[in-house]
């Protein structure tokens, strides 16, 4: 067995910054309808537009603007970039896709706010479409006018962004998540106060006046009817979107488990070297924690507890206990493992609890994005100098988000990214993927494909944790003839997936950890303690100190413990790097792969695998150490993805990294197969809202990708393959990447991992890797002026050789000093 005892090698130099021009053009994806009768189309659009303007003006005679809905022809996109201008005469307020029976029948609706100047300007464009041609001989403004099927005056329903949910009845009192246009010329407080006053004057109840602030929107909660909203905020120029507020999932697994009190005493006696002076903490956002528990009282000081509502207690008020079992797993892991043995037990991190859920409170919706941000801010006040793993197993059963961002997931992305002045350098956030309802689990694994990961676990920047299981101890004396629902090493029955999501969005979960198992006995589901993990119970009169616990809540707690221990080892690394090492170390079990090799799967099977169990189960030894025959390089860099060039935002640069390969050692292996693994991790700044949701580039600030030089490909040819700026008229392609997962599978979200396998002799010449930018709203939204910003990324590159007697570590360490 290889001895994983060596520190990873940090590569601080060997990086060239080179000009980057994308190989593919940035042409519009809007293809206009052709062979239309332009006269008839233009007159139809004129008539419908004038009628819509007239209707809105009758309903709001004092308004200096109108809201108009532009609907596309089936199967054609709207040219939404034409619905905005820098002078704010017209503004795209809302945009949505309406699914047809097949994708070719999908239609798109854009709700646009126009003032009198914009009305006249649009009518002029219609006239030019009818009567004038471009130099190429096409009608002017063809992309804009030709794809319009109909135009109508906007109603409140036009702003509804929940296609899977019915719009509320006119007079029904409901909670609304209201997205307001954020005017860059006004301060946020004045905009909020004006909106609050408008709503209160219409007898609309406000929440706790918490809000979220994104680059182009403010988000608040309000309680009232569609009629009240339609008579108030609809007739201002502030409204952008309406959504349903999130309600948190109310199902938490709880099973009693009777154990002996001396187990707790024995474990407490074996814990050594714990002190509240470490620099890494896990912060739990949950239902509170009961620190009187004998396994928690010595390790969780009262000062490390807080709540987002000062009227709440800090204790665990979930009926069966949820925060307290989470705390036990975060500190000790599965207690069945901790109790088993006589060796000393070490805890490497602190623990904090900020209560964000009060089960005893009436079910009033919260703006959970704002709640989450406030909770993290409270933890940072308690311990301002800590590196922090944030653990949240609270999710919402939001119907049919299909991977699209919500205000909650976007607030998490914003928290992890930081802001333009102060980027996040201290924290990672872990979210549970949510659970399959227990009454449906008997149909696993097929039912899991259709049960979506819950909100806000679609976050780009957070690590989403799903569940697999090694629990296979089923009592056949008690349940003769019973069988396991999931085989050892397979996806856990509780696990939700992203298989149903639209292809544009990240694949989730990122990793899986132990989540427990079930059995089947007499065609009924068995939910037995032996198939769950063991943790600290809520306690109380008549209750055991120990409890069975499970599902993705347990998985997320265990993943947070894993990350905190890794962060303790590498406390000087960026959060992007800790995230990269965690995902990089993960692998799939044979059961997940169905007994196949990953290279034997089809592209669809690989995509579904990642959408089911992510990149597999993390391995602490490989995340923490290299070995003689398994070498990991850590690369942390900053890159400026875009620039302003003659008034246009363009891509700016890419990085060409020279890898210090152990060439002689690899050449000695000749035709022996070796493996190369690459993981790229970075955080994006979110911009949620009404831009085209089919495009992740409308949401993320930027994207990064990687390419690697091919065997025997020249450096000049590789540079030209990466960047159009390096090409000349004689350019001829020489190489390819030959990855196992491939760009179609890996290029989702903001963490990308892939594997290459080949001979050692071929790998010896593959010593260059390029990191280059792709589109995002920093590039597409010029008016927000983000094009001068830089971003950070972390890259982990590992070579594995099968021969443990071959030393590839030493020759690299001689080229690059090892930084401990």
Q: Looking at the domain assignment, is residue 639 inside a domain?
A: yes
| Number of Cα atoms under 13 Å in the Cβ half of residue 34 | 4
pLDDT band at 273 (very low <50, low <70, confident <90, very high): low
State which residues form the domain around 122: 38-146
State residue 253's pLDDT score. 27
Query: Looking at 106, 128, 146, which one is the last position of a domain?
Result: 146
Burial of 298 (0-12, 13-18, 19+ CB in 10 A): exposed
Q: Distance (Å, rounded) from C-alpha 532 to C-alpha 513?
A: 12
State residue 41's pLDDT score. 94
Mean pLDDT confidence for 637-659: 95
Q: Does 214 score more than 60 pLDDT?
A: yes
Beta-carbon contacts of 392 under 8 Å, excluding residues fewer than 6 positions away, are 284, 285, 286, 356, 372, 429, 430, 431, 432, 556
Q: Which helix (H) or strand (E) holds 578?
A: helix 575-585
State residue 287's pLDDT score. 95
Q: Give the pairing type, strands 642-645 and 648-651.
A: antiparallel
Which DSSP letter does residue 617 get? B
- Same domain? 549 vs 427: yes
Q: Looking at the domain assignment, is residue 162 inside a domain?
A: no
Alpha helices in 314-467 (DSSP H): 323-332, 335-339, 368-382, 407-417
Query: Looking at 583, 615, 639, which one is the last position of a domain?
Result: 583
Q: Distance (Å, rounded) from C-alpha 274 to C-alpha 59?
A: 68
Name the residue with tokens 């993320």.
700
Least confident span in 95-109, 252-266, 490-504, 512-526: 252-266
Q: Distance (Å, rounded) from C-alpha 74 to C-alpha 65?
A: 28
Could you tell me if 367 and 211 are in contact, meaning their C-beta atoms sit under 8 angstroms apart? yes
pLDDT band at 254 (very low <50, low <70, confident <90, very high): very low
- Same domain? 202 vs 299: no
Higher pLDDT, 220 or 697: 220
Query: For residue 768, which phi and psi values (nearest 5 degrees)?
Result: -130, 135
Q: Distance (Å, rounded) from C-alpha 17 to C-alpha 24?
A: 21
Q: Which residues pair with 491 in a beta bridge?
A: 468
Q: Looking at the domain assignment, is residue 56 inside a domain?
A: yes
Q: Does 17 score more than 80 pLDDT?
A: yes
Please provide the DSSP assignment of 553-610 as one string. HHHHHHHHHHHHHHHHHTTTS-HHHHHHHHHHH-B--TTTTTTS-GGGS-HHHHHHHH
Could you tell me if 695 and 779 are in contact, meaning their C-beta atoms sit under 8 angstroms apart? no
State residue 85's pLDDT score. 72
DSSP three-state, residue 302:
helix
Burial of 18 (0-12, 13-18, 19+ CB in 10 A): middle
Q: List pLDDT tens digits, range 696-713.
A: 788 999 999 999 999 888
- Same domain? 274 vs 332: yes
Mean pLDDT confidence for 62-81: 88
Q: Distance (Å, rounded) from C-alpha 662 to C-alpha 683?
A: 31
Could you tell me if 802 and 763 are in contact, meaning their C-beta atoms sit under 8 angstroms apart? no
State residue 256's pLDDT score. 35
Q: Distance (Å, rounded) from C-alpha 306 to C-alpha 378?
A: 7
Q: Distance (Å, rounded) from C-alpha 410 to C-alpha 461?
A: 9
Which is it for the CA torsion 394, 396, 402, 406, positive or negative?
negative
Q: Give the pairing type, strands 546-549 and 533-536.
A: antiparallel
Please provide the DSSP assignment of 490-521 as one string. SBPTTB-B-TTS-TTSPPS-SEEEE----EEE
Least confident span in 236-240, 268-272, 278-282: 268-272
Q: Give the whole-number percent of the chain exceeding pLDDT 90.
A: 58
- Same domain? 646 vs 768: yes
Q: Distance (Å, rounded) from C-alpha 72 to C-alpha 148?
A: 5
From residue 408, alpha-carbon distances to 246, 419, 422, 509 in Å are: 8, 17, 21, 17
Q: List pLDDT tens digits, range 145-172.
A: 999 999 999 889 888 888 778 899 988 8
Name the residue with tokens 């004129």.
46
Beta-carbon contacts of 393 under 8 Å, excluding residues fewer than 6 positions away, are 286, 322, 326, 431, 432, 552, 553, 556, 557
Q: Distance (Å, rounded) from C-alpha 72 to C-alpha 96?
A: 11
Tell me the two tokens of residue 86: 């820098």
Q: List pLDDT tens digits, range 656-686.
A: 999 998 888 888 888 888 999 999 999 999 9
Mean pLDDT confidence for 120-148: 91
| Cα pseudo-dihedral 249, 253, 254, 258, rounded to 10 | -160
Tell me the two tokens of residue 483: 């069988």
Instruction: Look at residues 354, 262, 267, 261 and name the one whose alpha carbon lies nearest to residue 316.
Output: 354
Q: Distance (Å, rounded) from C-alpha 95 to C-alpha 154?
A: 12
Q: Looking at the domain assignment, is residue 608 inside a domain?
A: no
Mean pLDDT confidence for 285-301: 93
Tell me the two tokens of residue 482: 């019973």
Q: Does 247 score more than 70 pLDDT?
A: no
Tell me the two tokens of residue 155: 């109603």
- Same domain? 675 vs 772: yes
What's the whole-number average pLDDT of the chain?
89
Query: For residue 320, which phi and psi values (nearest 5 degrees)?
Result: -100, -5
- The pTM score is 0.90
Mean pLDDT confidence for 176-180: 91
- Same domain? 367 vs 451: yes
Mean pLDDT confidence for 753-757: 96
Could you tell me if 331 and 296 are in contact, meaning their C-beta atoms sit under 8 angstroms apart? yes
- Same domain? 665 vs 517: no
Q: What is the CATH number of the domain that holds 223?
A: 3.30.70
DSSP three-state, residue 752:
strand
Q: Distance (Å, rounded) from C-alpha 494 to C-alpha 489?
A: 14
Alpha helices in 279-364 (DSSP H): 323-332, 335-339
CB atoms within 10 A of CB 447: 14
Q: Does 644 score more than 90 pLDDT?
A: yes
- Same domain? 557 vs 666: no
pLDDT band at 257 (very low <50, low <70, confident <90, very high): very low
State residue 258's pLDDT score. 39
Q: Does 115 score more than 70 pLDDT?
A: yes
- Same domain? 675 vs 729: yes
Least confident span in 204-208, 274-278, 767-771: 274-278
Least confident span in 149-153, 243-247, 511-515, 532-536: 243-247
- Same domain? 214 vs 299: no
Q: Outline where DSSP puts E strands in 207-292.
A: 212-213, 217-224, 239-243, 255-256, 271-272, 280-286
Q: List pLDDT tens digits, range 393-435.
A: 989 876 668 898 999 999 999 999 999 889 999 999 999 999 9
Q: List pLDDT tens digits, range 709-737.
A: 998 888 999 999 999 988 877 777 777 88
Would you put residue 742 in left (φ > 0), alpha (ψ -120 to 50) or beta?
A: left
Q: Looking at the domain assignment, is residue 135 inside a domain?
A: yes
- Same domain? 22 vs 42: no
Tell me the two tokens of residue 514: 């132990």
State residue 690's pLDDT score. 60
Least confident span in 4-13, 31-40, 358-367, 445-454: 358-367
Q: Does 554 score more than 70 pLDDT?
A: yes
State residue 804's pLDDT score. 75
Least confident span in 49-63, 77-91, 119-133, 514-528: 77-91
Measure CA 722 to chain center: 27
What total of structural domains would you count in the chain?
A: 4
Q: Give the whole-number percent of the chain exceeding pLDDT 70.
A: 93
Could you tell me if 123 and 107 are in contact, meaning their C-beta atoms sit under 8 angstroms apart? no
Q: Does 341 score more than 70 pLDDT?
A: no
Instruction: Look at residues 733, 738, 731, 767 and name the one whose alpha carbon lies nearest to residue 656.
Output: 767
State residue 331's pLDDT score. 95
Least confident span in 236-240, 250-254, 319-323, 539-543: 250-254
Q: Distance (Å, rounded) from C-alpha 651 to C-alpha 697?
A: 14
Q: Looking at the domain assignment, is residue 636 inside a domain?
A: yes
Q: Distance (Å, rounded) from C-alpha 240 to C-alpha 93?
A: 4
Beta-carbon contacts of 708 under 8 Å, excluding residues fewer than 6 positions away, are 676, 678, 737, 756, 766, 768, 769, 770
Q: Looking at the domain assignment, is residue 590 inside a domain?
A: no
pLDDT band at 251 (very low <50, low <70, confident <90, very high): very low
Q: Distance (Å, rounded) from C-alpha 481 to C-alpha 9?
A: 52
Q: Which residues pair with 243 in a beta bridge?
A: 177
Query: Looking at 190, 214, 243, which one is the last position of a domain?
Result: 243
Name the residue with tokens 């450096």.
715
Q: Looking at the domain assignment, is residue 618 inside a domain?
A: no
State residue 818's pLDDT score. 55
- Same domain? 19 vs 44: no
Least confident span in 181-185, 438-442, 474-478, 684-688: 474-478
Q: List pLDDT tens digits, range 345-404.
A: 889 899 999 999 988 775 567 789 999 999 999 999 999 999 999 999 989 876 668 898
CA angle 548, 549, 550 (to 5 degrees): 135
State residue 25's pLDDT score. 61
């Amino acid at each position: 067995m290889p001895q994983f005892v060596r520190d990873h090698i940090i590569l601080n130099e060997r990086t060239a910054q080179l000009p980057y021009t994308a190989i593919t053009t940035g042409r519009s994806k809007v293809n206009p309808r052709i062979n239309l009768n332009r006269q008839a189309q233009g007159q139809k659009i004129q008539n419908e537009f004038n009628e819509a303007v007239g209707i809105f003006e009758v309903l709001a005679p004092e308004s200096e603007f109108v809201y108009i809905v532009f609907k596309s022809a089936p199967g054609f996109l709207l040219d939404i970039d034409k619905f905005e201008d820098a002078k704010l005469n017209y503004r795209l307020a809302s945009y949505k896709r309406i699914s047809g029976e097949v994708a070719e029948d999908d239609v798109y609706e854009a709700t646009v706010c126009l003032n009198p100047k914009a009305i006249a300007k649009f009518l002029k464009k219609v006239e030019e479409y009818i009567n004038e041609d471009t130099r190429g001989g096409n009608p002017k403004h063809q992309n804009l006018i030709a794809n319009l099927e109909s135009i109508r005056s906007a109603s409140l329903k036009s702003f509804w962004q929940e296609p899977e949910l019915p719009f509320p009845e006119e007079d029904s009192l409901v909670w609304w998540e209201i997205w307001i246009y954020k005017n860059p010329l006004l301060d946020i407080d004045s905009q909020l106060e004006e909106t609050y006053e408008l709503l209160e004057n219409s007898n609309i109840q406000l929440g706790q006046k918490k809000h979220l602030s994104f680059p182009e929107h403010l988000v608040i909660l309000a309680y009232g009817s569609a009629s009240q909203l339609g008579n108030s905020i609809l007739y201002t120029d502030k409204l952008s979107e309406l959504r349903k507020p999130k309600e948190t999932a109310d199902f938490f697994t709880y099973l009693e488990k009777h154990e002996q009190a001396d187990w707790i005493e024995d474990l407490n006696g074996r814990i050594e070297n714990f002190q509240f002076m470490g620099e890494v903490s896990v912060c739990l956002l949950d239902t509170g924690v009961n620190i009187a528990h004998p396994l928690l009282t010595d390790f969780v000081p009262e000062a490390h507890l807080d709540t987002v509502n000062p009227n709440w207690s800090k204790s665990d008020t979930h009926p069966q206990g949820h925060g307290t079992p989470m705390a036990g797993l975060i500190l000790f892991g599965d207690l069945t493992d901790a109790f088993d043995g006589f060796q000393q037990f070490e805890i490497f991190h602190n623990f904090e609890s900020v209560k964000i859920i009060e089960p005893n409170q009436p079910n009033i919706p919260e703006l959970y994005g704002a709640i989450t941000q406030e909770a993290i801010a409270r933890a940072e006040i308690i311990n301002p100098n800590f590196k922090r793993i944030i653990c949240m197993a609270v999710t919402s059963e939001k119907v049919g988000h299909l991977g699209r961002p919500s205000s909650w997931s976007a607030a998490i992305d914003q928290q992890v990214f930081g802001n333009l002045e102060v980027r996040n350098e201290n924290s990672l956030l872990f979210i549970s993927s949510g659970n399959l309802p227990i009454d449906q689990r008997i149909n696993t694994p097929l039912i899991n494909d259709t049960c979506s990961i819950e909100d806000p676990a679609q976050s780009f920047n957070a690590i989403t944790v799903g569940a697999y299981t090694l629990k296979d101890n089923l009592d056949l004396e008690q349940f003769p003839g019973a069988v396991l629902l999931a085989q050892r090493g397979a996806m856990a029955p509780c696990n939700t997936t992203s298989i149903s999501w639209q292809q544009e969005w990240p694949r989730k979960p990122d990793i899986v950890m132990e989540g427990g198992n079930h059995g089947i006995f007499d065609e009924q589901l068995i939910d037995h303690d032996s198939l769950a993990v063991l943790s600290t119970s809520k306690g109380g009169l008549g209750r055991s100190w120990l409890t069975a616990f499970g599902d993705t809540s347990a998985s997320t707690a265990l993943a947070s413990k894993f990350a905190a221990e890794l962060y303790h080892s590498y406390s000087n690394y960026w959060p992007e790097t800790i995230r990269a090492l965690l995902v990089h170390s993960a692998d799939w079990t044979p059961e997940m792969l169905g007994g196949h090799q990953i290279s034997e799967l089809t592209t669809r099977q690989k995509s579904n695998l990642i959408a089911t169990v992510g990149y597999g189960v993390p391995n602490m030894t490989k995340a923490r150490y290299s070995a003689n025959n398994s070498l990991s390089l850590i690369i942390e860099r900053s890159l400026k993805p875009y620039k302003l060039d003659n008034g246009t935002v363009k891509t700016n640069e890419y990085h060409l990294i020279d890898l210090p390969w152990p060439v002689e050692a690899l050449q000695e292996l000749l035709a022996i197969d070796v493996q190369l693994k690459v993981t790229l991790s970075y955080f994006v700044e979110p911009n949620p809202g009404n831009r085209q949701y089919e495009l992740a580039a409308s949401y993320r600030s930027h994207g990064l990708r990687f390419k690697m030089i091919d065997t025997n490909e020249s450096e000049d040819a590789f540079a030209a393959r990466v960047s159009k700026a390096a090409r000349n008229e004689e350019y001829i392609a020489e190489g390819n990447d030959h990855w196992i997962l491939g760009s179609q599978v890996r290029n989702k979200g903001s963490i990308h991992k892939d594997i290459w396998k080949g001979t050692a002799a071929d790998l010896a010449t593959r010593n260059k890797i390029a990191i280059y930018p792709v589109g995002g709203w920093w590039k597409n939204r010029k008016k927000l002026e983000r094009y001068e910003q830089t971003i950070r990324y972390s890259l982990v590159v590992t070579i594995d050789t099968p021969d443990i007697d071959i030393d590839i570590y030493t020759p690299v360490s001689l080229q690059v000093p090892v930084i401990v």
